[in-house]
Structure 1
């Protein structure tokens, strides 16, 4: 007889979420667990991850906290081994870790440029490298697996002072298109989500006065997206019939024109 958990839309799925200590990752982990998935939550802040796991378990879910930095490929490979051993073969990767910094290029903030490249590009590929073998294995066993990458509307549009950030997100979107051609024939669906402005910790990383003023004005005077909106998008993608792959999903606040 099927249990209640077996009847949930994401029952028997094993989901890995990077950048899970706050924002989109945290909200997505909680929602996927609520809908039946076992979740492995990855980020640098161990205390936040442990609190997240405790909440998931209090609601009857199963979760595993792994404190890792996505820029460390070896640590991600070790994390992948633990996920497989403790939760089972991962069949959903929400590749969400990212950082957004902004300033005029003339300020020459090379350290910030490198940080965005390391996390948004190298970190993305480190996670894909660590978990894609499991996604392929799971797809062969279950018939489907999902790789969902977080990009941004910045991948499509122009935002002054955000040149490196927008470039890093353009990489995420275009790499996802290429990965779809590579992994799709192996029944691994690849989707990229391009959100508009979402209320998360990302805005707090920016320390350029002019850009901060613009962000503060937008957040104070407009109804922007919430992290749960993107979590719902990830859950929707994962629950589709195996024949359906939403290749690219742009999610915008109603007020935001571009």
Structure 2
């Protein structure tokens, strides 16, 4: 096993995480899938094996310190070190902040998306080999505020800055850190998001482009190399980024307000 390269993928049993696992396997890594559901982990591992891909899987809640400590311990015992850590697991709840009456809905986005990313990073840090890469999956809403996504935007923005901190902390260890901010991807989570969206968000046409998970994974991993850090894979998000650098703030806000869905009075 010493000659093998291992890649841990949180939330790797479906959607973008599963596509990242497949793409990392094509790049020579043995994917290690982590998810809360044992059934989904087993199914994902079997699907990979059916394609001739060696894969491993473990069950764990990324927001639980004890569970992630146990999972990282198992990975250490089995693999020794890892060469790639993809922090992809996350959830999203949609709705206006003033309409939210269940505070657990607000805290779940923070606990899983942000705190879970921090916990997972901490538990796998000792396993990262020199030259390893860490990839954190944020969102376009990590750099752009979106109505109806208050706690999700806060969590994803936190990931962007957490990734920046870890990049500087790990420079001396020859470990690269990347953070991807993709727009909409055609995943089970996106389907749930649209199903539970308020009518004002469902009826607008501001969010048209939808990448397949495989396409998104390929684009992200193609950029997760060298001295890059922030990964943007959608032209419209890249354009908005450029506009923020060359236009006055009021014009940038106007462009964003026209492009991003918002409720009416």
Change (3 A) 1:55 1:253: farther
Question: In 2, distance between residues paired with 1:12 and 1:163?
Answer: 42
- TM-fit CA distance, 1:84: 2.1
- TM-fit CA distance, 1:100: 1.1
2:122 to 115, 124, 129: 129
Provide, for residues 49-84 of structure 1, a one-character-per-residue CA deviation record: whole Å limited to 9, x for no partner: 212212222333221111111111111111112112
TM-score between both structures, scaled by the size of structure 2: 0.81
Change (3 A) 1:214 1:25: farther
Q: Which residue number in structure 1 is paired with residue 150 of structure 2?
A: 163
Change (3 A) 1:254 1:107: closer
Q: Which residue number in structure 2 is paired with residue 113 of structure 1?
A: 106
Q: RMSD of aligned C-alpha atoms?
A: 2.2
Question: In 2, distance between residues paired with 1:84 and 1:168?
Answer: 29
Question: In 2, distance between residues paired with 1:20 and 1:84?
Answer: 18
SS of 2:126 mapped into structure 1: helix
Change (3 A) 1:35 1:214: farther
Question: In 1, distance between residues paired with 2:25 and 2:179?
Answer: 21
Structure 1 residue ranges without an equivalent (≥5)? 1-10
* 1:8-23 equivalent positions in 2, closer than 5 A: 12-23=4-15
Question: In 2, distance between residues paired with 1:252 and 1:211?
Answer: 24
Does residue 231 of structure 1 match 2:231? no
Change (3 A) 1:124 1:214: farther
Provide, for residues 130-188 of structure 1, a one-character-per-residue CA deviation record: whole Å limited to 9, x for no partner: 101111xx11xxxx001100011111112111111111111000111111110112111
- TM-fit CA distance, 1:86: 2.0
Provide, for residues 96-151 of structure 1, a one-character-per-residue CA deviation record: whole Å limited to 9, x for no partner: 0111111111113411111101101110011001101111xx11xxxx00110001
SS of 2:232 mapped into structure 1: strand
SS of 2:185 mapped into structure 1: coil
Structure 2 residue ranges without an equivalent (≥5)? 241-265
Which shifted more, 47-56 or 90-99?
A: 47-56
Alpha carbons 1:103, 1:211 under 8 Å: kept: no
Question: In 2, distance between residues paired with 1:214 and 1:78?
Answer: 45
Question: In 2, distance between residues paired with 1:255 and 1:127?
Answer: 28
Change (3 A) 1:255 1:70: closer
Q: Which residue number in structure 2 is paired with residue 172 of structure 1?
A: 159
Change (3 A) 1:153 1:254: closer
1:210 to 199, 219, 224: 199
Q: Which residue number in structure 1 is paired with residue 56 of structure 2?
A: 64
Aligned residues: 235
Alpha carbons 1:17, 1:42 under 8 Å: kept: yes
Alpha carbons 1:19, 1:97 under 8 Å: kept: yes
